[in-house]
Structure 1
């Protein structure tokens, strides 16, 4: 395959695989707690981090990590202590992140709209070897958290009050999830772009939910869809010369539409049959229980 003969495409495809794994792995918890657009808010904050990297002459990825982690922690603190609703805290991330990014990029001596565009929409040609090492390290952190603490995170996202009663450190887990989401946005920004990363965190999960019933199956299916559309979209962008982020998101939405139209009705039909079979199995015959010794079904 000629696509693998280019070093930059090898790096881009590896980054696409890591993004395809990490984005849905975090997104499933955000969808569960009804914060599907949280990735958008963090993406806007990451824009400030990228601009800060250009301004200070440091690697934009690590600058974005520092800023997004601080922003996500601040959002949780506002939600806890400021009596602010979650949507208000997200709005602060949206507006403050975008405004800070635009301000700093215009102050940076080596920043430009062209440089910023590669982070906003993704760019397969600009993923360097140092970027790959950073993405691998960050992806390993995200995977360790989302898989290693899946039971605890699921409990917190499902019902915070119940999780608190059972003795789970709810605030710490919420902070950890926010930080993990921030890291995921930074991992994905070179491939998908900051403005579209939230879609890759949500759409594969939404598609998987149409055809699966358990949390484990939904997670596995969402990761599979994420990896598939990330690789396909990155390869397509190489041959057609279009932004990879747009290609990946359009493919993810197409997969969601196909699953919703074709697979979901079959899954619902199987679920109804399974429920009917279970109900029939639970109908037992109790001999001699009737007034005349006839069998009675209970």
Structure 2
């Protein structure tokens, strides 16, 4: 019998497909905010949620979702109000989550083998009910990540500017935290709670080596995540090893290849920085030679309503599909 005819493998592949899409989707925003380890911290909090489910006889996936969302929200509020820095807030998640999880697992009378299936992933433990929950949560994450893409990018790129444009920065930051928490629980059956952060970060870092814009990084990272998950699940079945570790190793191998290719491309074109840094804004084309903008209607400012893009020693404004930059008594477009 082919492995694709086995019901548990079919469930695992569907869960892997959704995990590969949702984890890099939210990971792109976390990397942009320089909170790459947030997924790891939430993963530790989710351990407490899993243990709580085992203790109470509830579905561990659902309790992990609730506890992860509560923990991520609390830490984001602490960080935003200045009562603790980002790294201290993540440390609280690391230590409190793992300690609470181990304590509750002991009270539930469960052994290390049960906990390991959630820590490192397990193909055979993806039940039909788990799959329904994973599908619902993954779709929700993708809808929010794509539907609120411009707003979330603005907050991740420059919170102060986003605030001046009228965006509800605090709420959008909480949305990112909640999406990260949900993504962790989506991935815990295939990748495992201890390795889910790698699937959020590594595909994004890989995509940045060969892409020029945030949007292309987003799409490429999702493609890489799906390929790593599906290939890792198939490999783990044939080699009888943990799926989470296999997926992460394949993702890291992809990064090595992409970094090598990206370096060669930048050397050929005379660039020595990642291609993704060249175009920081969604939908902004690659820079072209400067040309005087004919009949420019007004002078840009902080309050003009056009998107601002920091560009080295000056500020550009997105206008009619290209960038405008002050140049003496006129505006250049490029």
Matched residue, 1:178: 177
Give per-residue Cα distances to partners, 1:78-125, cap 9 Å, x unaligned. 11335211111111000000000000000004x221110000000001
Aligned counterparts, 1:28-43, within 5 A? 28-43=28-43
Matched, 1:96 2:96: yes
SS state of the match for residue 118, structure 1?
A: helix
Matched residue, 1:27: 27
Is residue 210–residue 261 contact of structure 2 (8 Å, CA) maintained in 1? no
SS state of the match for residue 13, structure 1?
A: helix
SS state of the match for residue 242, structure 1?
A: coil
SS state of the match for residue 257, structure 1?
A: helix
SS state of the match for residue 134, structure 1?
A: helix
Matched residue, 2:64: 64
Gapped runs of 5+ residues in structure 2? 272-277, 279-286, 293-334
Matched residue, 1:141: 140
Shift in Å at residue 262 of structure 1? Answer: 2.0
SS state of the match for residue 131, structure 1?
A: helix
Give per-residue Cα distances to partners, 1:255-287, cap 9 Å, x unaligned. 000011124422563586xx9x944x869xxxx
Shift in Å at residue 77 of structure 1? Answer: 1.5
Matched, 1:77 2:77: yes
Aligned counterparts, 1:1-298, within 5 A? 2-81=2-81, 83-109=83-109, 111-266=110-265, 269-270=268-269, 278-279=288-289
Give per-residue Cα distances to partners, 1:215-247, cap 9 Å, x unaligned. 111011000000001000000000000000000
Is residue 122–residue 243 contact of structure 1 (8 Å, CA) maintained in 2? yes
Rounded to whole Å, the distance in 1 between the matches of 2:30 and 2:132 is 26
SS state of the match for residue 83, structure 2?
A: coil
SS state of the match for residue 76, structure 1?
A: helix
Give per-residue Cα distances to partners, 1:183-241, cap 9 Å, x unaligned. 00000000000000000000000000000011111011000000001000000000000
Does 1 or 2 have the higher relative contact order (CA < 8 Å, sep 6+)? Answer: 1
Q: So what's the TM-score if we normalise by structure 2?
A: 0.80
The structure that is helix-richer by fraction is: 1
Aligned residues: 279
The structure that is strand-richer by fraction is: 2
Rounded to whole Å, the distance in 2 between the matches of 1:21 and 1:198 is 14
Rounded to whole Å, the distance in 2 between the matches of 1:23 and 1:37 is 13
Is residue 76–residue 175 contact of structure 1 (8 Å, CA) maintained in 2? yes
SS state of the match for residue 36, structure 1?
A: coil
Shift in Å at residue 49 of structure 1? Answer: 0.3
Is residue 31–residue 202 contact of structure 1 (8 Å, CA) maintained in 2? yes
Gapped runs of 5+ residues in structure 1? 284-298
Change (3 A) 1:220 1:106: same
| Structure number with larger C-alpha Rg | 1
